Structure 1
């Protein structure tokens, strides 16, 4: 398994820039109490607050000299709007990341990827997923698309970072044991579930022979499905449905 992004890091920084701005503008004037579809318990305002907090957490982490931060501004100050809170955090993290080459070393929460590029990628997808949340929550708003290259990179991140690393940290055990192929566009991955843990990797065409199940859809559809922003039945399944359900539910645990 490789930790390197599928997308170019310069492209991911551009995505972070554009998606953060779009998230802020999509939230302008919207009711913060609106529920986010396909994300139980989340509201539009809570989503904006969460992303603004994550931006500040990353800046604090990068300024902490290798120590995971415990303190940062987690909510707007008195008189500060949610939109301004998000924009200020967005500008700060963009400025910090743009000042460093993505190959430059820094601490992160993934041992396999200890460079600024980790944060380029992580925040690009954090911003994209939650921009979609805000647009889906805001009544009557058109939900913007996702570039195929970004979607495929996000599929890769969901499987290699969240499904593999995050579930390992949580110490999750599995009731179903086997392999599910994830097929999106021309890209393939294998997600493996055993009694001792989970793992996923980029696969060649010949590697998917003999898997227990597979799920197939377009890159954007798979991106949203893996992040739980589309229902479980919105992919084309084949093989053991219990394995597909296990994959989907494990990702809900990993990404929430």
Structure 2
């Protein structure tokens, strides 16, 4: 899958901005608890994201999933120093690889380094919000990035063949529509499938709508819906959100 140069530049800019903000918030205090990730502190967030960056740097370098993983000694590093070092390194690795280098990804359709441009930008945005929540200093996710993130979580993480064995605690049987900033996704769910289609065709059991930042963070469990952001079967919406959470574990 070819990633246009202007889109690659956009993802890199978002990655750099959000990682800088995450470092800034980390310096407000590492021990603050993260309400969106039970048992985590801001230090946990920084170490997690740094380890994710290192994993993707190695995957791009060797063109395969790193094994064994993780490397030894990371827990001994200063969290702020480690994060600052790795946030620069992931940008350098992506720039050096470009967008067409064959590598391991978890996407069935995109096995190029370009995949990691978007994924790392979105990973960073979500965890930047985690750290901000810990200090009650939340800032919005870039609107275009959040809209792209809605598409990623629905089409890549929720959609696909992952449910064929009925391996879910939330076998919701419903059709849900997500609408934000002029785009819609219609999701047909049952115990063994999750089919995601772009557009607003057909009848649905429930619809969720709102600004990209709100919907993106709700899908990732970092934001609650307000009373006027959904219509239809409330129980189906709750079960849909729980199914999304399963797909991102």
- TM-score over 0.5 (shorter chain): yes
Instruction: Give the direction of change, closer, same or farther, for the CA distance of 1:219–1:119 in structure 2 (3 Å limit).
Output: same
Determine the structure 2 residue equivalent to 1:252.
245
Q: Say if 2:3 and 2:99, in contact at 8 Å, map to a contact too.
A: no
Q: 1:172 pairs with 158, 162, 167, which one?
A: 167
Deviation of 1:95 after TM superposition, in Å, equals 0.7
For 1:1-150, what aligned pairs fall within 5 Å after superposition?
A: 8-30=7-29, 32-73=30-71, 76=74, 78=76, 80-138=77-135, 142-150=137-145
Change (3 A) 1:95 1:42: same
CA contact under 8 A between 1:180 and 1:190: conserved in structure 2?
yes
CA contact (8 A) 1:27 1:83 kept: yes
**Secondary structure at 1:99 match in 2:** helix
Number of corresponding residues: 247
Matched, 1:197 2:190: no
Return 98-107 or 8-17, whichever deviates more: 98-107
Shift of 1:75: 6.3
Alpha-carbon spacing, 1:235–1:44, altered in 2? closer, same or farther (3 Å): farther
Instruction: State which drifts further: 68-77 or 33-42.
Output: 68-77
Q: Secondary structure at the match of 2:159?
A: helix
2:161–2:193 contact (8 Å) kept in structure 1: no
> TM-score of the superposition, structure 2-length normalised?
0.88
Q: Structure 1: give runs of 5+ residues left out of the alignment.
A: none
Task: For structure 2, list consecutive stretches of 5 or more residues without a partner in the other structure.
Answer: none
Query: d(CA) in 2 for partners of 1:43 and 1:60?
Result: 26
Q: How far, CA to CA, are the matches of 2:191 and 2:143 in structure 1?
A: 34
TM-score calculated relative to the size of structure 1 = 0.86
Partner Cα separation in structure 1 for residue 227 and residue 163 of structure 2: 27
The answer (yes or no) to whether the contact 1:36–1:134 under 8 Å persists in 2 is yes
Cα 1:169–1:42 shift into 2, 3 Å: farther
- Answering whether residue 147 of structure 2 is matched by residue 156 of structure 1, we say no
Change (3 A) 1:179 1:75: farther
Distance 2:247 2:71 in 1: 25
